[in-house]
Structure formats: C-alpha cells, structure tokens
Amino acid sequence: MKPLIIALALILAAPLPAYAGPRTPRDLRDLAHQQGIRIGTAVDVAALRGEADYRDRLNREFNHVTAENAMKWESVEPERGVYTWADADAVVHNAQRNRQRVRGHTLVWHNQLPAWLTSGVADGTIGADELREILRDHITTQVRRYKGKIRAWDVVNEVVEEDGSMRQSIWLTHLGPGYIADAFRWAHRADPHAKLYVNDFNLEWNAPKIETTLSLVKDLQARGVPIDGIGFQGHLGIQYDYPGDWANVMRRFADLGLEVAITELDVRMVMPVTEEKLATQADYYRRALTDCLSVEACQELTVWGFTDRHSWVPGWFAGEGSACLLDENLTPKPAYRALLGVRA
C-alpha cells in the first residue's frame, strides 16, 4: 500500500491547472443556455417553408421565436369571421418540433388591420359597441387557438405616441382608453398561463413615452388588470447614440414586478457597409445583451430577423440596411461573434 499512498500524495500536491473561464458558446442557443435567457428571432414564414438553409439556421440558433407577420390581424382574419391559420400554425408547429418557445405578436395594434375592419369603422357601418365585440372575439379566438403554446403575447402594441400622449388609433378614438384593460382581461381569460405584455418602440430612451407607459402600467395594476411584462422593441441605428440608460429604464419597469424583454432588436446603418460600421453595430448588439443580462427580470432578447436576406429595414428606411446578425448568405457578422462573447 505504501507506493499507492506516495502516488496519491504526489497527485494531491501537484498544482491545479489554471481555470480558463467559461467556454465560448457554440451558437446563440448555447449562449442562451449558458446565460439562462431566451434568445429569439422573428420568423419569415415564407422563408421557413421555402429555404432549407434559413430553416436550419433558425432551428439551430434560437430557443424562442416570434411570427414576424403571420399572427397579425390582417394575416389571420383577412375577411370577417374567416380565419386563415396556416402561416401562424407553421411557425408554432416548427417551434414545437425544435424546442422553441413562442411570443405571440400582436393582438391589438393600429397597423396591419384588415380592410373590412378599417373601412367599416371609417364609413360608420361598424359602430363602437360592435367594434368592441369584434375586438373581444378576435382576441379570444386567437389566444384560445394557441392556448398552452404561446409563452407570451404582445397584447397591445405601440399605444403611446412619441410625445407621451396615447396613440390616436381607431381603438382609442371609438372605444376610449378602457380598451387596453379589456384586451388584457380577455387575453388572460382565454389563456390564464400566458405572459401578457405591453410592447413599444423607442421606449429605450424616449422620456415622455417612458413616463406615460409607466403610468399606464401602474394604472392597470391598480385596477387588478393582469399585465405581466414590458417589451422594448429595440430598433436601433448606429447613426444615433446607443441608449446608455437602457438598463436603468428596464429596472424601473422591473421594480413594478414586470417581466422584461427586448422583443425586436436590430441595428441598422446607412449604406454602404464598412468595417468600422460593422464594429459599431457589434458594440450595440453586445451592449443590448449586456444590459438585459444586468437586469434579473429581463427574460428574453429577440432579434427582428436574423439575416439581411429578409430584413424589413431597407423597405422602410431609404438608404439603410445591414441590420441583422447574419448577412444575405447567412455568414455571421462581427455582431454575432460579439454576442457569443458576452458574459453576465
């Protein structure tokens, strides 16, 4: 036994190897697992069906998904009472097969409404009482269909103007501000376990919008309305300063007991692309994830599309683009590698 004891003593006396720190994640899904967060993307349903490389990358990289357009009102109910679920179902079914959770987007918005609804309100054939019934039926039907399959819903989207006033949508004009509380209550009744969110853009930095949204949340909570989360869209551009107080704004909402999510992150630039611009873009993506990870209540970071092949940006911002983590050929940019390097 003596040689064995000597060998054991030598082993115990040997210096331990230096700790190299956590390993670099293989991909975004691995990063999400390491950091205990959901990392998601908006899904282009046509690309999901028709592009194998897009589909493979989507399912390898992300553990959370949002239907980019397939769950919006004009998509699911283009004719009154006639629902077309095929695109939304495709997103949900693909997510279920690939261990991805789903954000439902969106139940109440002032855009992408079907023509039958907007024209009926405009010409007076749909009055206020009927409009309220239509809204209730739409929310109830959609949320019930996906009961248990949607982790979180963007119940109301972009309800505050840039000056801090409430958005003058057909909902506010014809139903009054109570439509927001109604929407949350109807959604909760249809799926009591789904997280229910307010979602908005420029909430990262716009002080009037921040204050109004905080007041809105407090008012809903005071009235016992079931609201669970706040969504910061995060549509950024490198020609503007990064919203340096973003983490503190997140904490103000978290202090109200809300779950926090970055729901639509992209970082556009004025074309053409340069290495310097890509480096700045990478820094913005890195800072967004770092801010989220610094706030315990921040549960999700979702990018609004992961490849420039299908980005919404060039169609909305003339002369701008290259906003996503991967280029048109699905080649990772510095921003992708910057995310993999983030540590909580």
Q: What stretches of the chain show up as alpha helix (H) in DSSP?
A: 2-13, 28-35, 45-50, 52-61, 73-76, 86-97, 115-122, 128-145, 170-175, 178-190, 207-222, 246-254, 275-293, 313-316, 334-340
* 276 is annotated as an active-site residue: no
Other C-beta atoms closer than 10 Å to the C-beta of 219 total 13
Q: Is the CB of residue 219 less than 8 Å from the CB of residue 249?
A: no
Helices (H) and strands (E) in the chain, counts: 15, 10
Tokens of 20: 């190299």
Other C-beta atoms closer than 10 Å to the C-beta of 148 total 8
Pairing of strands 259-270, 320-321: antiparallel
Q: Which amino acid is at 89?
A: D
Residue environment code for 2-28, b if the CB has 16+ CB neighbours within 10 A, otherwise e: eeeeeeeeeeeeeeeeeeeeeeebebb
- Which candidate in 264, 296, 300, 328 is catalytic? 264
- Measured between alpha carbons, how far is 36 from 311 in angstroms, rounded to an integer? 27
Spatial CB neighbours of 234, under 8 Å, sequence gap ≥ 6 = 204, 262, 263, 264, 265, 266, 288
Tell me whether residue 42 is exposed, middle or buried, using C-beta atoms within 10 angstroms of its C-beta: 0 to 12, 13 to 18, 19 or more.
buried
Instruction: Tell me the angle at which helices 86-97 and 52-61 cross, rounded to the nearest 10 degrees.
Output: 50
Question: What is residue 341's three-state secondary structure?
Answer: coil
User: Would you please indicate which residues are annotated as catalytic (active-site) residues?
Assistant: 264
